[in-house]
Structure 1
Amino acid sequence: MTRTRDLDVVVYGASGFVGRLTAEYLARHAPDGTRIGLAGRSRERLERVRESLPGASAWPILIADADDPDSLTALAKSTHVVVTTVGPYAKYGIDLVRACAEEGTDYTDLSGEVLFGRESIDRFHNVAVASGARIVHSCGVDSIPSDLGVHVLHQQVSADGEGDLTDTTLVVSAFRGGVSGGTVDSMRNLVDTVKVDRHARRIAAGPYSLSPDLAAEPDLGRQSDFEMVKGSDIAPGLGGRTAPFVMGSTNTRVVRRSNSLRKWAYGRTFRYREVMSVGQSALSPVFAAGVSAGLGALMAGLAFGPTRYLLDRVLPAPGEGPSEKTRRTGHFTMDLYTTTSTGARYAARVRAQGDPGYAATAVMLGESALALAFDGERLPAAAGVLTPATAIGDALVDRLRAAGFEISVRRT
């Protein structure tokens, strides 16, 4: 990459919980000579973060505010890549997307917000294509394991000459970590929006709501995000019953967008869903029903004033996060199962140590930014509002493997 700007990477929101973790990851793992800046509203808070980071004493501080479009434009002009952890993105993120798309600056975030993704596509995809910017949403646990898991499945199936992917299911086999205050705040914002906006409800419910061309998508019948599925219906030998996965409604749409952006390379009959394992005992149907009911109750509670007030008192607030021990001892394992158009069966696994929404996400977001900054010749030839697989692809797979992630594929 030709270094034509003052900085390589800027972390916007660096004084927030995940922003600090991402800045710390970059301080420890970015190549020597990487020019990194910290950005946000408060110079004092950013200076405290900088003082806590190894080898970061010379990192510049940039003052930028979501309510000040000119400051965001100046931020985008200063760097090759912006990493932002400032959410909910539907409230605070769209003007930074605008600035990066206009200035040809690559962009990554942690958004798990379908409505924000749709607005970003509609308003700024063509702008980013014209400038050459890669706008890459969902570069954390939502939705890198999903998107890269299907990416490597597709690669192996293609290499083996086994046709296209058809029915494909991600199973969250293990997931241990704290609850993200930012994720909860995004859920609040979604509930508030769909309560009053019928068009937003339709977008949120549509299986192809992030598609570049909805009319061109295949009609594969009902595709639900909240099913309780028998393990044996997913893959032979997989027992028990699975429950809905809370982030499946975002991840599935990101994966389907990847397929569409690749001209349906995964297949025109590619069906994708995500579920969560609740064990394989005789009680798994009871546990699955309990999880499903709990998710429904949470969303209903956030939509109803009196219960929302009570939930807000116990759920984590934005900027809060788990202890260092919880971040260190957390982990996740996600297994993907597919059947190809020739009848062959494959499985992929994406697994990492560290709290999924914090420690592991800081790795995924940090490595996404470094790949955009330094792996130009290995990146797909694409620009616009993209996905992790279509914007970064193999370069990110290799980086995450080098960082200790398992990303593997096998024929079953």
Structure 2
Amino acid sequence: MSERYDIVLYGASGFTGAYVLEAIAKSADTNVRYAVAGRSESKLKATLKDVSTRVDKDLSKIPIIIADSGDESTLAAMARQAKVIINVVGPYRLYGEAVVKAAVENGASHVDISGEPAFLEKMQQKYGELAAQNKVYIVGACGWDSIPCDLGVNFLKQNFGGTLNYAETFVQLHTGES
């Protein structure tokens, strides 16, 4: 392949991956080149078929890349095909570093949905300088875990009558039968 995909969605066949794929399929303009990646070609094909139905678009021609967090060579091959990897394979403390490393070393930016502060900090400390040298980015916490907390802290900063030194947040999720 001579040109990199704009986006490679790693973990597309998982629960979160299918929702991210749906969002990409609904919003990406036709000039955005994207591929899906994961361990199982059959699961990725099934996800493409399912999301095709939900968005009323034929996604069967979306390229599939086989990559596994436990096999650095497949991650490097995936990263060499991407401008940006959106990584939705967690928990990141177990499976994330190999993907960040592959991305940064092979010229792809890395975006994840982690809500794991220790992981996020470690990746910036360990790979931030190399990312800058390679003119790529490591962007963490672009997901549900971080958004309510970030919004809450911004609200406090704007509305708190003094200097904000510390804030602790928690989220409680209640679901019904659906």
| TM-score bucket (shorter structure) | 0.7 to 0.9
Q: Distance in 2 between the 1:273 and 1:57 partners?
A: 46
Task: Note the aligned Cα RMSD (angstroms).
Answer: 2.8
What is aligned with 1:103? 106
Displacement of 1:274 in angstroms is: 4.1
Quote how far apart the aligned CAs of 1:142 are: 2.5
1:126 match: 129
TM-fit CA distance, 1:9:
0.6
SS in 2 for 1:168: helix
Larger Cα Rg: Structure 1 or Structure 2? 1
Alignment deviations for residues 152-179 of structure 1 (CA, whole Å, 9 cap, x no partner): x7xxxxxxxxxxxxx7389xxxxxxxxx
Deviation at 1:103, TM superposition (A): 2.2
Change (3 A) 1:103 1:276: closer
Report deviation, 1:28.
Answer: 1.1
1:90–1:113 CA contact under 8 A, matched in 2: yes
| Greater RCO, 1 or 2 (C-alpha within 8 Å, sep 6+) | 1
Alpha-carbon deviations, 1:325-372, whole Å to 9, x = none?
A: 95xxxxxxxxxxxxxxxxxxxxxxxxxxxxxxxxxxxxxxxxxxxxxx
Matched, 1:114 2:90: no
In the alignment, residue 33 of structure 2 is paired with which amino acid?
Answer: R
Distance in 2 (CA, whole Å) between partners of 1:33 and 1:55 is: 16
Whether the 8 Å CA contact 1:169–1:275 is kept in 2: the answer is no
Determine the structure 2 residue equivalent to 1:16: 14
Aligned to 1:47: 45
The alignment partner of 2:103 has SS state of: helix
Give 3-state SS (helix, strand or coil) of 1:11's partner: strand
Structure 2 stretches of 5 or more lacking a match?
Answer: none
Instruction: Give the CA deviation at 1:148.
Output: 6.2
Residue 33 (structure 1) aligns with: 31
Amino acid at match of 1:69: E
Aligned to 1:339: none
Question: How is 1:12-411 mapped onto 2 (pairs within 5 angstroms)?
Answer: 12-52=10-50, 53=52, 54-147=57-150, 168=157, 270-275=164-169
- After superposition, the Cα gap between the structure-2 partners of 1:271 and 1:77, relative to the gap in structure 1 and judged at 3 Å, is same
Q: Match of 1:7, as an amino acid?
A: Y
Distance apart, 1:121 and its partner CA:
2.1
Name the TM-score, length of structure 1 as normaliser. 0.37
CA distance in 1, matches of 2:113, 2:144: 8
Structure with a larger share of its residues in strand = 1
AA partner of residue 13 (structure 1):
G
* Conserved? CA contact 1:10–1:81, under 8 Å: yes
- TM-superposed CA distance for 1:99, in Å, is 1.1
Aligned-pair CA distance for 1:50 = 1.2
Q: Number of residues paired by the alignment?
A: 169
Q: CA deviation at 1:34?
A: 1.5
Cα displacement (A) at 1:150: 5.9
TM-score (norm 2): 0.82
How big is the shift at 1:59? 0.5
Shift of the 44–276 alpha-carbon distance from structure 1 to 2, 3 Å rule, reads: closer
* Structure 1 position 55, deviation (Å): 2.9
> 2:84–2:108: 8 Å Cα contact kept in structure 1?
yes
Q: Which residue of 2 aligns with 1:343?
A: none
Question: Which residue identity is paired with 2:131?
Answer: A
Q: Secondary structure at the match of 2:105?
A: helix
Contact 1:168/1:272 (8 A) holds in 2: no
C-alpha distance in structure 2 between counterparts of 1:140 and 1:107, whole Å: 14
The CA deviation at 1:22 is 0.5
Identity of aligned residues (%): 36
Partners of 1:81 and 1:71 in 2: CA distance: 16
Deviation at 1:118, TM superposition (A): 2.7
Aligned 8 A contact 2:45 2:60 in 1:
no
| Offset at residue 30 of structure 1 (A) | 1.1
Question: How far is 1:146 from its partner?
Answer: 4.1
- CA shift, 1:51, in A, is 1.5
- The whole-number CA distance in structure 2 between the counterparts of 1:33 and 1:66 is 29
Aligned equivalents of 1:132 and 1:83: distance in 2?
17
